[in-house]
Amino acid sequence: MQTDEIHHESCLETLKRLPDKSIDIVVTDPPYLMNYRSNRRKEKFKHIENDVDSHGLIQNYLSECYRVLKDNTAIYMFCSWHHVDFFKIEFEKHFKLKNIIVWVKNVHGTGDLEGSYAPKHELILYGHKGRSLLRENRIPDVIECPKVNPESMIHPTEKPVRLLETFIKNSSEKGDIVFDGFIGGGSTAIAAMNLERKFIGSELDENYYNQCIKRTTYAYSYQLSLFDI
């Protein structure tokens, strides 16, 4: 099995090739199932692949993640509050849900400007296959972390490397393999590299795949500790 690889294909194709119980941690950020498009960057980013009606994809993905994870490991899965009911039900078909972690951002989004509160958080389902112990000091399930600077963003829903590092550090060891089937601009791979873990990922969109390869290759060649490149 090759590691430190990003594949330009559906995550389900990548997963098919992975043996049972071969992965140490899944940190992943599936499509939001809501036709997401940032209001602030209409010109910069297009709609995300499989962002509507991909409930079957998520169901198969979770079942495959369970198969490839070793026993006594952890999974972290971002999800929008809009569909947390669906994600939680599917997640709990396989994993023991331990927390719904709240990521509090430094700035709020838009939404219904006159009829709703300004959205400033995202949810992460955190669960176990078997039982996984935290490696670091226990921290609260509400985590403050700034969003990626819009100027340097290469993906419309790009997640901060520092936040992903918190999860990877807490639930894996150096040399372990991190899997993210929806790797977007590659933040999970950069977090894994910074922490001396290996990674396997996939991305369907050619543009994001190319950006991700560029970013991880750059990180490799300079052996940097990287946050927002």
Ligand X SMILES: C[S@@+](CC[C@H](N)C(=O)[O-])C[C@H]1O[C@@H](n2cnc3c(N)ncnc32)[C@H](O)[C@@H]1O
Closest residue to ligand X, based on beta-carbon distance:
184
Nearer to ligand X, 17 or 96 (CB): 17
Supply the minimum distance, in Å, between the C-beta of residue 181 and ligand X. Answer: 6
Nearer to ligand X, 6 or 69 (CB): 6
Nearer to ligand X, 129 or 147 (CB): 147
Return all residues near 165 (Cβ < 8 A) that are at least 6 apart: 191, 194, 195
CB of 75 closer than 8 Å to CB of 28:
yes
Nearer to ligand X, 138 or 170 (CB): 170
CB of 73 closer than 8 Å to CB of 87:
no
CA distance 221 to 215: 10
Residue written as tokens 């396989």? 94
Supply the minimum distance, in Å, between the C-beta of residue 115 and ligand X. Answer: 25
CA dist list (Å): 157 to 64, 73, 92: 24, 26, 25
Element (H, E) at 171: helix 161-171
Question: By the criterion CB under 6 A, which residues form the site for ligand X?
Answer: 10-11, 29, 31, 48-50, 57, 155, 157-159, 181-182, 184-185, 187, 202-205, 208
Supply the minimum distance, in Å, between the C-beta of residue 203 and ligand X. Answer: 5
Closest CA to 171 of 229, 131, 115: 131
CB of 106 closer than 8 Å to CB of 148:
no
Nearer to ligand X, 207 or 225 (CB): 207
Supply the minimum distance, in Å, between the C-beta of residue 24 and ligand X. Answer: 19
Supply the minimum distance, in Å, between the C-beta of residue 65 and ligand X. Answer: 13
Return all residues near 197 (Cβ < 8 A) that are at least 6 apart: 24, 25, 168, 172, 174, 175, 176, 177, 178
Supply the minimum distance, in Å, between the C-beta of residue 32 and ligand X. Answer: 6
Nearer to ligand X, 61 or 66 (CB): 61
